[in-house]
Structure 1
């Protein structure tokens, strides 16, 4: 059977992502979502069966892997157990050199895809993108969640600053991704209500909405400019009105 090449967003040169779902619409929608935060990353949907039904397709998964593989690695995320089996079968049939750079990650599909896409967009290598996808496991657990209004413990030294979310829709996926991208360019650690500012899922798990006051903090004596830069980004509303 001739494989139909999937539609791929993004460009080559970065770790590619494949989303395998029993539903073509879910996989395609996930590509659309991830592309909002990772426009320069190769993303491909491998959803549904060859005849358009609900299920998974070996040929679609294999074609999607080939489409996003630029030689630096491919991360595959799946929705259900049988999708993982299909992906593993497709991987087994790859050439040895290609197979070595394809990793199937057993993590929540949506959260893992978003985290992996942001890491790949930032130029993360295969190991970093895999780690980002796996960070989705348990990322939204409610235990010991810091308050969105400054409930995290104060930093004993360093520098901290409170800032209010002004975006109408809160810190949703796109602005959260911009925030994390900036945090990853800084050379000092910064926290948001006690959570790592470089963790997309950590930031999104707080459910920050318009009007919430957050505390940006660093223990680094040289971290003032980093905190102020992130605070300025939040206060700017990320270009949204």
Structure 2
């Protein structure tokens, strides 16, 4: 099983659209929505949030993401009635980018704490721990002394650095205790990675510092060398 995610939004359309996007990145993750009021108006519904949490119960934990302040209050009220409040975490993260990063982390098998950190890490450099799944890179790809490691990896997937690869990189790195840059931008930020506009054949230069520095470079290298699972 994986960690589930609940999206709380003032708009049913926004919640459903964000969940649809996340499903493209992480098809095996249960993303439940609680958008709008019970009668279809703009607003939030405690009953909808509680129903989503009930549906998610029994898994490996649940992370809640919200859009605006009153949605946070509704989510906090729902936590008071949750059967297992310790297994439900409220993330302070941008709704769409945080949801994508959290979903990718959950798809990779991260625990509930790491999924929450993945969502929150889109705000800036990660200081978190909890490794994503590992992919081995070819011998000699990673170099480094002590805590600092670097690697250079050529993009082989046809579409290059688009949303899905950026989300996979950012979601995984956010769960590691390392500061990572990719071609000079924050490796834990999906948005920053997409601004690279790196096409097929471009080389990603990865630099990492911290306890999980080598693991981080190997993670990015493994994704790139596997073509992110794309043609």
**Please, what TM-score do these two structures have when normalized by structure 1?**
0.69
CA deviation vs aligned residue, 1:75-103 (integer Å, no higher than 9, x gap)? 100000001111111111223xx112111
Cα distance in 1, alignment partners of residues 217 and 11 from structure 2: 47
Specify which of 96, 100, 115 is matched with residue 114 of structure 1.
100
Q: CA deviation at 1:24?
A: 0.4
Q: Judging changes above 3 Å, is the alpha-carbon distance between structure 1 residues 204 and 159 closer, same or farther for their aligned structure 2 residues? A: closer
Q: RMSD of the TM alignment (CA)?
A: 3.7
C-alpha displacement at 1:60, in angstroms?
Answer: 0.6
With over 3 angstroms needed to count, the CA separation of the structure-2 counterparts of 1:239 and 1:82, relative to structure 1, is same
1:52 partnered with 2:52: no
Residue 210 of structure 1 is matched in structure 2 by 199
1:127 equivalent in alignment to 2:109: no
C-alpha contact (below 8 Å) 1:165/1:171 kept by paired residues: no
Q: Is contact 2:118–2:171 with CA below 8 Å preserved after alignment?
A: no
Distance 1:166 1:68 in 2: 35
Partner of 1:101: 87
Unpaired stretches in structure 1, ≥5 consecutive residues: 1-12, 140-154
Shift in CA distance, 164/68, structure 1 to aligned 2, threshold 3 Å: same
Larger Rg over CA atoms: 1
Give TM-score, length-normalised by structure 2: 0.71
How many residues are aligned here? 206
The worse-fitting range, judged by mean Cα deviation, of 215-224 and 122-131 is 215-224
The residue aligned with 1:171 is: 161
1:21 touches 1:83 (CA, 8 Å); kept in 2?
Answer: yes
SS of the aligned residue for 1:72 comes to: coil
